[in-house]
Amino acid sequence: MIRLDYKIEKWPLKDPFRFAGHTIVELEAMHVTLVDGEHRGQGEGLVPVVFPITMAETETLMKLAQQGINTGGDPQKICASMPAGPGRNALDCALWDLRAKQSGRSVWDLAGLNSEADFIEVDETVGLGQIPEMAAQAKSSAHRVIKVKLDAEHIPERVAAIRSDCPRTELIVDANQSWTVDLLMQHAPALAKLGVKMIEQPVPPEQDHLLEEISCGIPIFADESCHVAADVDRLKSLYDGVNVKLDKTGGLTEALALVTAARAAGMGVMVGCMSGTSLSMAPAFVIGSLADWSDLDGPLMIQNDRVPAMQYEHGKLKKFSPALWG
């Protein structure tokens, strides 16, 4: 019989991380372990500050799942019955890891994907801050792609300073729903001239409908507006792509479904994270092998990573070790 154990972990950041409306100094993670005889699978879910769910609520859900699984319930059915979010993400990814360990097959094989990736290119995120500090961080990065966090203040100035110091870097920007449509249309021409390749979630989800009648000349991707595959039908006329995060989808299973739905709708795909340790990056890496952009630099922000940690080299993220996951 499979046994579920869980624990709540805290992972301090190297430095405070700011984005529109929030400052983070520490991550709160739900770590799940599934044990079946000699086989063990693990997964991690991060409670995001941008969505109305707490660790207390996540733990309540996990206690119910633990009670069901540890008394002989079907783990897959119990996982599927949970709402999308970090708790289900931790359990779903632990199930993928356990199945891989039990079968001796790779996650790619289990998911029916054609080939494994040895590495993927990832961006580095520049948090919101003073303009010189943001430019200096971007200049020091070894990554070819930089994601710039913005709010409603000094939009072109921040991007121009980074572009001046990083003339060959590919830039994407993330407003974290802090703009209006008017602000988007006001600054889009300048951002296009600065070579910005994509704008992520410019407006709050309740203003999504205002995007239908506009064209700003830069692809717009949905983040806070897109959680699961069922959201694609509503968003496909409003956004050019989606940001897939496993803490939103509730695991790799739904993340794969979201990628399939987005591609079928002709949308682009980015994979992101709520920061996290390498255990969060490992299943997201699978989505990264299918994505146009990969925003999986979470472990670079924390003081200490999980062991064995995934490895970053010159803007590339190497495939995870099976000792970590999958």
Mark residue 135 as left, alpha or beta (left: phi above 0; alpha: psi -120 to 50; beta: remaining). Answer: alpha
Q: Please provide the DSSP assignment of 55-121 as one string.
A: HHHHHHHHHHHHHHHHTT--HHHHHHHSPSSHHHHHHHHHHHHHHHHHHT--HHHHHT-S---SEEE
Which CATH number fits the domain that encloses residue 34?
Answer: 3.30.390.10
Is the predicted pLDDT of residue 51 greater than 90, yes or no?
no
Hey, what's the torsion of the CAs at 206, 212, 213, 214, to 10 degrees? 90
200 assigned to a ligand binding site: yes
Task: Decide: 100 and 322 in contact? Cβ < 8 Å.
Answer: yes
Q: Is 266 exposed, middle or buried (0-12, 13-18, 19+ CB in 10 A)?
A: exposed
User: Which of 71, 104, 137 represents a domain boundary (last residue)?
Assistant: 104
**pLDDT (mean) for 52-69:** 97
Q: What is the rounded distance in angstroms from the CA atom of residue 147 to the CA atom of residue 202? A: 14
Residues 44 and 182 in one domain: no
Is the predicted pLDDT of residue 218 greater than 90, yes or no?
yes
Average pLDDT, the chain: 97
Q: What is the pLDDT of residue 229?
A: 98
Question: How many C-beta atoms lie closer than 10 Å to residue 296's C-beta?
Answer: 28
Whole-model pTM over 0.85: yes
Residues 284 and 194 in one domain: yes
Q: What is the pLDDT of residues 276-305, one digit of tens each?
A: 999 999 999 999 999 999 999 999 999 999
Active site residues: 149, 245
Q: Percentage of the chain with pLDDT > 70?
A: 100
Question: 100 φ, ψ to 5°?
Answer: -65, -45
Residues 21 and 51 in one domain: yes
Which CATH number fits the domain that encloses residue 147?
Answer: 3.20.20.120
Residues 85 and 148 in one domain: no
254 assigned to a ligand binding site: no
Q: What is the pLDDT of residues 163-190, one digit of tens each?
A: 999 999 999 999 999 999 999 999 999 9
Residues 314 and 251 in one domain: yes
57 assigned to a ligand binding site: no
Quickly tell me which residue has 């590495």 as its tokens: 119
Q: Which domain holds residue 263?
A: 119-318
